[in-house]
Amino acid sequence: MKTAIIAAVARNLAELDLTAEAERHAKLQQDLRDIAGARQVATDRRNAIGAELRDAADPRGDQVAAALIRGETTTDATRGSFNKEMLEEESAALAAGLQNLSVREREAHAAIRSVEAVERSKIVPAFQPLLDHGREEVSAALEVIAKHYAIARAVSGASGFGGRSEADAYGAILDAAVRNSRLMPHGLAEVPADVVALVASLQGRTSAHRVYAVTSVPNLPEAVDMTTANLIAAAVEGARREAAV
């Protein structure tokens, strides 16, 4: 890798300021800890209220005995000394509070994801020199692949089946580069002139096999297949007309 490019990325990373995001993230993490603590307190109290309500609905013997010793009437002793309505209201309020805590927790997590997105949006440009250099090198490599793809197609046109496996392999790369990644514009891949001359030298020397001369092909395999099909159809039609004469 070129030293200048590495140095440029290193400089970009060194100048990267993520202080605000770090502070925001720390605050949100503390909010989540506070929410978790509040949830535990509320949950423990609701559980205690539930237990108290169950005990009051079916008072234990020791509770009734203690109330009778205190001089309470039998009705009061068996009913217990608690306010059911107040406890139920408190439990309902705690339930509403727990629901709100869940909402706040989701909002905090969403805010954390937003902080992560901001950090990533700052990091990506710092590495852009590496990506730009990569596109340049890959573009040059794709031009070489496109040339050999055209050569393989020319060999296939000349021989009928030779070069097909190479064309399939190179074509898969070009398909991804042209169609999916936009690393290369859609266009024609030229067969080198000396290869065209070699194929031309074979024409007229075969009897049963027809040699097809290919000078260029689209750099998308799908388009090439259509072009090849049209060439074959045209050749067949030409042969049919010759036979008819």
Q: Note the pLDDT tens digit of each residue in 52-103.
A: 888 766 556 666 676 667 776 666 555 555 567 888 999 999 999 999 999 9
Structure tokens belonging to residue 152: 């393989």
> CB-based contacts of 199: which residues, under 8 Å, 6+ apart?
154, 155, 157, 158, 211, 213, 214
Output the pTM of the full model: 0.61
Helical (H) or strand (E) element with 106: helix 84-126
**Section 163-190 average pLDDT:** 89
Task: Give the separation between CA 31 and CA 35, rounded to whole angstroms.
Answer: 6
